[in-house]
Amino acid sequence: MIPGSGAAGKDIWRTIRHGWKRFLALLVITALGVTMATGLKAACVDLRRSADAFFDAQNLHDIAVVSTLGLTDADLSAMGGVEGVHRAAGGYSEQVSIEMDGATSKADVSSLDGSGMNMPYVIDGRLPVDDSEVAVTAPYLRDSGAGIGDTVTFGDTVGAQDGEGTAKEGSGEVFSRHGYTIVGTVIDPMDVNNGEGATAFRDNPSDADYGFFVTTSAVDDSARGIYTVAYLTVDGARDKQAYTDGYDTSVDAVKTRIADIQAGRERARTNEVKADMNAEIDKEERSATRKLTESRTRLDRARSDLDGQWAQLQTGIMRFEQASGGVTVEQAVANGVGAAVQLQSARSRLDAARDTLDARYGELDKAEKDAQRRISDARDKVDGIADAQWHVRDRTAMGGYASIDSDAESIESIGTAFPVLFLLVAVLIGLTAIARMVEEERLLIGTYKALGYRRGEILRKYVVYAGLACLLGGLLGDLLGFIALPKIIFTIFSTMYLLPVFTLHFDWLYGIGAVALFAAVVVGAAVAACRGELRLAPAALMRPKAPKAGRTILLERVRPVWRRMSFLGKVTARNLFRYKTRALMTIAGIAGCTMLLMCGFAIRDSVVALSPAQYGGVTAYDLMAVTSDDDNPAAFKSLRDDAGVKDAIAVRIDSATLGTDAPDDGEEGVQLVVIPDGTSIADYIHLREAQSDWSAAMGGGAAVRPDGSGVAVTKNAQQMLGIAVGDPVTIRDSTLHDATATVDAVVENYLGNTVFMTRSLYERLYGDYHANAMLAHLEGDATERIRFCDELAKDGRYLSVTSTDALVRDFSGNFRLINTVVYVLLVLAGALAFVVLFTLSTTNISERERELATIKVLGFRRREVRHYVNKEMLILTVIGVAVGLPLGRLAGEGLTMVLRMPGIYFAVHVRWLSYVISGALALAFAAMVMLVTNRMLDRIDMVGALKSPE
């Protein structure tokens, strides 16, 4: 491909030197195309590989198993014996409350064990080594102001965790309650989402704020031996790249084998729990029976003694009456007889003793009934225990792991679509540049053929010319695509994910393939442009090419218009219709570049529109506050009576998982909102039917009011899971309770996923209902409302307080990734537009050099010559812009269809200003090119141009 030093090589170098503008145009267009083709994909590949290296270094589990009744060593042994399981280890975790500056927050506490799985990455300090130490994530130190060496104490249990953010049913305190010394700052490999960065909008109010890590020696004795989660690694999975089909296939195979032992282990655990509880009940029953029997024996003995005393007393009374001649004891007592008084007193004591004894018998009977009832209730409770359920999950159940893949896929969707347009433009530029170069060198080609050069030898020059431009442009594109562009995007990734290192990787196959593709296309265009000329005879090539014959154009037939046109206007119209190919290529190039610009603005506008569409269009409340079930009544009354609150309603909010019966559809983390029966939340959340994907209208759907027949799900969840109205869905709440409901409606929502249901449906599915959250409207402006929420968060009764105004304020930072990609797209599109316009303009001038020299000789002044040429370019640019704007809108809609991210629903919304800016940028690039080409027009040598055929 590199020119040699012989005559042919010198000719090629001479051609490059004299035709450097065309050469540079081909080089730049190839560089831009290769950058676009490789850069965005390389950034996503680098993100996945950086994450995979981090996960491997921290020995992140491949599969996690959670059971509603906990897991035992027998379960771990059974899982460890499954084919393909490399290691199985039990873990302990618990979600606890943390008091911090008067406010209550939540933290996930996890245990470290000797297996080395899920090891936190140490940023500062070290990991704990005994039951008095703890390592914490950086957000806790930042928010609390604490540091290494300070002490933290765990509060009440919010819900023991499964290691992936899901509460475990029936769990109590897992870890000992005492002061823990902070010894290190770490990154949790199971949660690499940056809660304070661009993924903050994905957080659920029920999620924990911080992560703590302690040793297994900190586990309370009462919880020891019953694991909250089992972590498994798969044989060979570590040697495969995460997020690849090979890795997923290995893990899925093991998950299938685990399912084979699942039913048996669930039964065994259920029987074990019930047997243990029944044994404890039997023990208590025996103890209660023994105590009650002993008490009844003592009472019977006391009654026997009392009966004996009564017999003696009756004997004494009878003897007294016989001795006193029939006088009764009562009469004798009235007469003051001492013996009678003693007998009467003894009888009173025995009556009192009998009454006491009867009362004791009554208490004993009641105690026996109470004991029987308690034992019966306990046995009923045991009988009512739901069978153990295993939930087998891979890494996709972790929000951070799944977010990395979904965000990368979204960016790759852009990186896959746009290089196609760059490729088409490269073909256009290649054909234009090489065709003009061949036309300029017709005499030289004819000379070569007359001297005996074969077609292949002559063609090689243009192949080398085009190939060398593509090779150099491809190398530049690879440098930009594999180094510069990923580094730019890494600055955004670093705010989204808590990965310690982002590494660059060069994919030789992909990099060389992108260069080869553009080289093949451009070189192919060069070959196609040359073949027609090479078929001509040397004599024909040595003569100037006959100018294209003029003909009557359509506009001439419209006589009223044609008569009113100026001379230059008529010439311009004839030139446009005469050189249709050149005009169409110019229009196509400008339309393509405008389409890119418009598509970029469409994506950006759609992202910007998310905030007003969500906060105000859907979310109408100012405050969402979550409490515990017990604290809610008092907290709600206090909030409602506060002077800073206009109105408020109490609801139930829980974190849940939404899934379908189809295993391939996956699951989506959602927020579950339970609405009290008879209560409307229309003033707080606008529930409306979601519009069609291709509709740009927001807020146009009919109002939806959930009833007890089914649930309403948000649009993004419906898209991600492929569900429709009438389909059954499975909703797993934070206690791992699965319930099936029917989708009654799909509602608008743009940020986050939510499932809405009524209290009556919730009670049918999950049992007792307790409000634990409040939605409220606040007084004052945005600053005052944010301040109110910040103050409310200091109240220890609130587990989380969310300010809508704060979310609006922080919105722009949450989408820096997409905005950065869009800006990169706009820069590349602008560069492409400039190259296209410059190439076509210079080619146009080159083709018409004799014509322009002629009109100069005829007396056209400099300004008139410029106007003569630029007018055509401006008209073609305007037509290209008019064609490109609607195409850009359509392309934007197509891209937002594939640009799906968890918890985000894009509805295409384009501001009229974006149309204006896109068109103005295209025209501005045209104006810039005109400034450059005007100098070329001024430098045309009239004599040399007119003598060139000679």
pLDDT tens-place string over residues 520-551: 888 887 788 777 777 777 777 777 666 666 67
Confidence of residue 289 (pLDDT cuts 50, 70, 90): confident
Q: Which two tokens stand for residue 72?
A: 């035992």
The percent of residues above 90 in pLDDT, for the chain, comes to 17
Write the secondary structure of 537-576 as one string of H (helix), E (strand) and C (coil): CHHHHHCCCCCCCCCCCHHHHCHHHHHHCCHHHHHHHHHH
Cβ neighbour number for residue 516 with a 10 Å cutoff: 13
As given in the structure block, the two tokens for residue 886 are 């609607």
Which of 695 and 495 is assigned the larger pLDDT?
495
Residue 705 clears pLDDT 80, i.e. is over it: yes
Cα distance between residue 604 and residue 607, in whole Å: 5
In tens, the pLDDT along 752-802 reads 889 999 999 999 888 889 898 999 999 988 889 988 988 888 787 887 888
pLDDT at 231 over 50: yes
290-299, 321-330, 884-893: segment of lowest average pLDDT: 321-330
Among 448-462, 591-605, 693-707, which is the least confidently predicted range?
A: 693-707
- Residue 164: pLDDT over 60: no
DSSP per-residue codes, 93-132: EEEEEEEETTEEEEEEEEEE-TT-TTPPEEEEE----STT
Q: Which residues contact 76 (CB under 8 A, 6 or more apart)?
A: 88, 89, 90, 227, 230
Residue 309 confidence class, pLDDT cut points 50, 70, 90: confident
Percent of the chain with pLDDT over 70: 89
- What confidence score (pLDDT) does residue 162 get? 41
| More confident position, 700 or 610 | 610
pLDDT at 100: 76
User: Is the per-residue pLDDT at 480 higher than 50?
Assistant: yes
> Cβ neighbours of residue 416 under 8 Å, at least 6 residues apart?
41
Identify the residue with better confidence: 721 or 818.
721
* Mean pLDDT along residues 851-867: 79
30 close to 466: Cβ distance less than 8 angstroms: no
| pLDDT, average across residues 328-356 | 74
CA nearest to 179, candidates 212, 209, 206: 212
Residue 650: pLDDT band (50, 70, 90) is very high
Does residue 197 have a pLDDT over 50?
no
CA distances from 842 to 19, 135, 438, 922 (A): 11, 66, 15, 17
Q: pLDDT tens-digit profile of 54-105?
A: 999 999 999 999 888 889 999 999 999 999 999 999 999 888 888 877 677 7
Q: How far apart are CA 923 and CA 66, in angstroms?
A: 61
Q: Give CA–CA dist 62/56, Å, rounded.
A: 10
pLDDT in tens, 721-747: 888 888 899 998 877 788 889 999 899
pLDDT: which is higher, 579 or 43: 43
State the CB neighbour count (10 A cutoff) for residue 862.
11
Whether pLDDT at 8 is above 70: no
> What integer pLDDT is reported at residue 693 of this predicted model?
47
Question: In the predicted model, is pLDDT for residue 407 greater than 80?
Answer: no
The answer to whether residue 607 scores a pLDDT higher than 70 is yes
pLDDT band at 452 (very low <50, low <70, confident <90, very high): confident
User: Among the listed ranges 139-148, 341-350, 402-411, 681-690, which one has the minimum average pLDDT value?
Assistant: 341-350
CB 396 within 8 A of CB 402: yes
Residues 6+ apart with CB under 8 A from 354: 306, 310
pLDDT of 135 higher than 90: yes
366: pLDDT confidence band, cut at 50, 70 and 90? confident
Burial 694-730 (b: 16+ CB within 10 A, else e): eebebeebeebebeeebbbbbbbbbbbbebeeebebe
Q: How confident is the model at residue 944 (pLDDT cuts 50, 70, 90)?
A: low
Q: Could you give the 3-state DSSP secondary structure of residue 498?
A: coil
The residue ranking higher by pLDDT, 102 or 364, is 364
How buried is residue 597: exposed, middle or buried, by Cβ count under 10 Å (0-12/13-18/19+)?
buried
With beta carbons less than 8 A apart as the criterion, state whether 770 and 652 touch.
yes
Highest average pLDDT, of 71-75, 170-174, 273-277, comes from 71-75
Residue given tokens 């009844």 in the structure block: 296
Residue 696 has pLDDT above 60, yes or no: no
Instruction: Give the model's confidence band at 329: pLDDT under 50 very low, under 70 low, under 90 confident, else very high.
Output: low
Contact 58, 120 (CB under 8 A): yes
* Average predicted confidence (pLDDT) for the chain: 81
pLDDT over 70 at 117, yes or no: yes
Check residue 761 and give its pLDDT. 92
Q: Among the residues of 441-454, which ranges form H helices?
A: 442-450
